[in-house]
Amino acid sequence: MSNFLAWIASLPALAQIPFIVAAFLAVVALLIFFIEIAPRPGKLYTGIRLAVCVLTPVVVFLLLGSVAWAAIIAAVLGGLFFILDYRAKEGGGYLFQLFGFLGPAILLLAIGLIYPSIKTMIDSFYSGRGTFVGFNNFIWLFTQPSAVRTVINTIVWVLIVPAVSTAFGLAYAVFIDKSRGEKYFKILVFMPMAISFVGASIIWRFVYAARPADQDQIGLLNGILVAFGGEPVNWLANSPWNTFFLIVVLIWIQTGFAMVVLSAAIKGVPTEQIEAAELDGTNAWQRFINVTVPGIRPSLVVVLTTISIASLKVFDIVRTMTAGANDTSVIANEMYTQFKSFETGRSAAFAVVLFLLVLPIVIYNARQIKKQREIR
């Protein structure tokens, strides 16, 4: 297989196109075969399914360069799958068809998610030279001051950014709801979402830029400070406040996302409930707390969890603005830094810690979605 791919890569660019198109058509034909043709009843199609279940794993394993005994085991497993499919309650061909639907997605998940996750967890127990070191990478991570600072910075990001972004987005959505020029106000706030994290970081680097006092200031903040008689400040060099100045960038970006989602949710709150609360003599704040907020709670959960995950994974902003200097590094940036220094074990350990931090948020979000489905 690798030789075949290398041969295609050696061809001129235009000559590669027919092979790529042919491979795409072959995949489409296989999907149609799995979903539409093979599951049909009859001895002929039963024989086809048996041949596919037994021979396909063998061919795949051999093409991947596997040994013969592995191919034989794959054929046995394929035969067991055929038996399960043949004896399925829904009839022969049902599991075959189901696997045809889910097979490509499962394969992509296995290659792009499951295998890298397992490989990363295994690598976290090895040094950069491939020596098994057990939990030493994790011990180093939680005992080195710089590494501990990195974890703390990440937690600070995930505590501040979602709360502030959601609060600003919600306040903005409430105040401009049904106001004149609403769509233009929304465009202004949502505009940073159209900018990449790197682009936003470069913009804010100019905002925070500092020059010596005897030179003209090109940074917005220092320009204002000097204009009022103050001294220029190197905003990104003073720890720990420099971390908060970086956090402002992500808040600036994510507020637009929170505003759009929550604004749509607010418009979905039944007007009858708001009018009933108004007739009961409640003021605007009471209507907001007792009617609007409960009505948009699912959207609030989605916004908070989405921004929390984005905060945990933040990399571009830190890398572009400070590269982690002056105690501003976060886990994602440190993963890259350690990998670049050939400390793959420590990089993997940071990745595992990041995964453990993200996991509770994902589980909570999944449970909230399940509850909403049960209510509906």
Asked whether residue 251 falls in the same domain as residue 352, the answer is: yes
Decide which of 90, 123, 156 is a domain's last residue.
Answer: 123
Indicate whether 337 belongs to any domain: yes
pLDDT digits (tens, 9 = 90+) for 79-105: 888 888 777 777 777 777 777 777 778
Domain holding 199: CATH number? 1.10.3720.10
More confident residue, 164 or 294: 164
Is the confidence at residue 304, as pLDDT, over 70? yes
Indicate whether 306 belongs to any domain: yes
Indicate whether 131 belongs to any domain: no
DSSP SS3 for 132: strand
pLDDT digits (tens, 9 = 90+) for 57-80: 777 777 666 677 777 777 888 888
What pLDDT does residue 244 have?
A: 93
Asked whether residue 202 falls in the same domain as residue 338, the answer is: yes
Instruction: Spell out a b/e string for 193-203, using b for 16 or more CB atoms within 10 Å of the CB, else e.
Output: eeeebeebbee
% of the chain at pLDDT higher than 70? 96
pLDDT band (50, 70, 90) for residue 303: very high
Decide which of 123, 158, 191 is a domain's last residue.
Answer: 123
Task: Count up the domains in the chain and report the number.
Answer: 2
What pLDDT does residue 155 have?
A: 92
More confident residue, 110 or 7: 110
Asked whether residue 161 falls in the same domain as residue 79, the answer is: no
What pLDDT does residue 65 have?
A: 67
pLDDT digits (tens, 9 = 90+) for 175-216: 887 777 778 888 888 888 888 899 999 999 999 988 888 788
% of the chain at pLDDT higher than 90? 26
Determine the average pLDDT of the residues in 230-240.
86
What pLDDT does residue 176 have?
A: 82
Indicate whether 82 belongs to any domain: yes
Indicate whether 149 belongs to any domain: yes
Q: Counting Cβ atoms within 10 Å, is residue 174 exposed (0-12), middle (13-18) or buried (19+)?
A: middle
Asked whether residue 106 falls in the same domain as residue 164, the answer is: no
Residue 71 lies in domain: 2-123
Q: In Å, how far are 36, 68, 79, 349 from 71, measured between CA atoms?
A: 27, 5, 12, 34
Is the confidence at residue 167, as pLDDT, over 90? yes
Asked whether residue 251 falls in the same domain as residue 117, the answer is: no
Q: Which two tokens stand for residue 230?
A: 């103050």
Decide which of 95, 123, 151 is a domain's last residue.
Answer: 123
Determine the average pLDDT of the residues in 332-356.
90
Asked whether residue 104 falls in the same domain as residue 161, the answer is: no
pTM to 2 decimals? 0.77
Is the confidence at residue 160, as pLDDT, over 90? yes
Q: Which two tokens stand for residue 367?
A: 């449970």
Q: What is the total residue count of the chain?
A: 376
Indicate whether 305 belongs to any domain: yes
Asked whether residue 113 falls in the same domain as residue 142, the answer is: no
Of 42-46, 202-206, 298-302, which gets the smallest average pLDDT?
42-46
Indicate whether 357 belongs to any domain: yes
What pLDDT does residue 374 have?
A: 65
Q: Counting Cβ atoms within 10 Å, is residue 282 exposed (0-12), middle (13-18) or buried (19+)?
A: middle
Asked whether residue 152 falls in the same domain as residue 187, the answer is: yes
